[in-house]
Amino acid sequence: MAHGIAIGDGIVNVNKPAGWTSHDVVAKVRGLLKGPKVGHAGTLDPAATGVLPILVGRGTRIAEYLLEWDKEYRAVLRLGQTTDTQDATGTVLATRSLDGLAEEKIRAAIVPFRGRITQMPPMYSAVKVAGTPLYKSARAGKTVERDSRTVEIHELDVLGITGPDVTLRVRCSKGTYVRTLCADIGEVLGVGGHLLSLQRTRVGPLTVERALTLDEVGARVLTGRLADDVLLLDAALEMMPAVIVDGQTAERVRHGAAVPAGAGRWASAHHGAPAMVRVKDASGRLLAVGNMSAGPAGSDMVPGIAIDKVLVDVDTVSR
């Protein structure tokens, strides 16, 4: 039986190269580690580069929580050209002149896209309508009716303008299509536009400056140093408040049993009544993630917690 590389459970911050799918990166890392489960959180299009969180071991159990992390991108919008995919991989549908388009007008057009906006998911996307991904319908030459969605553009800044190309910094919520943002800005300006290039510079606490190339991941595996670059589960979930439980309750939690109201204590000060919490044992080890029920108004008592995901093995012995 092949033995995997022991690096712990968590997240490896990989700098995805252009031309690779997110699945390609997962397959490469899985081959390097030879054993543990490997997945990813937050798909990047093949042409895009930058931060791709690779989940290792029990890290694959927390993917759904990491999708709530905000994301930051460096995007280049090319004005004057519209494509069928809204990015540079597609066919150019129209080309329009930029004569008379002043920089001030471009900067002004971007302002309304800050904050809560609505987007129409592009036809070349994985969004499913009636069970069929939109990109499959698009490849068949069909345009499908679809619902718009509301997303949050937390920050949107112009970093530079060179000819038809506008470099943007975008910090946004999950579900945001940066190529649709570019296409929509182009339409507002009346000249059209598409996403020329995209680099994801941050996902939650993971930054591109600290991301490892696949060659670097391979080198660290060979020298046994990859564990130093793994973001452990507890750190990855620190946006959730933590509740400490005693040994008897911890044993039940490891089997998926709920934490009764009053059986836990807050690990630190918190605000309001969080929906999701980390559950830890007395030594501070992460046991599970749970859904917290509503507690009595004004009470410091920890309400009951229904366990959503157990993050330790059932046979783990509390130490």
Give the residue numbers annotated as catalytic, written as ranges: 45
Contact (CB, 8 A) for 170 and 73? yes
3-state secondary structure 115-149: EEEEECCCCCCCCEECCEEHHHHHHCCCCCCCCCE
Residues whose CB is less than 8 angstroms from the CB of residue 173 and which lie 6 or more positions away in sequence, other chains included: 70, 71, 151, 152, 153, 154
Where in the chain does DSSP place strands (E)?
10-16, 38-40, 49-56, 71-79, 81-83, 92-95, 115-119, 128-129, 132-133, 149-162, 165-172, 193-203, 206-207, 230-232, 242-245, 264-266, 276-280, 286-292, 305-310
**Separation CA 95–CA 146 (nearest Å):** 26
Task: Report how far apart, in Å, the C-alpha atoms of 272 and of each of 141, 245, 295 are.
Answer: 50, 20, 10
Q: For the chain, what percentages of helix, strand and coil (3-state, to nearest 5) are there?
A: 25, 35, 40
**Separation CA 203–CA 236 (nearest Å):** 11
**Separation CA 149–CA 117 (nearest Å):** 8
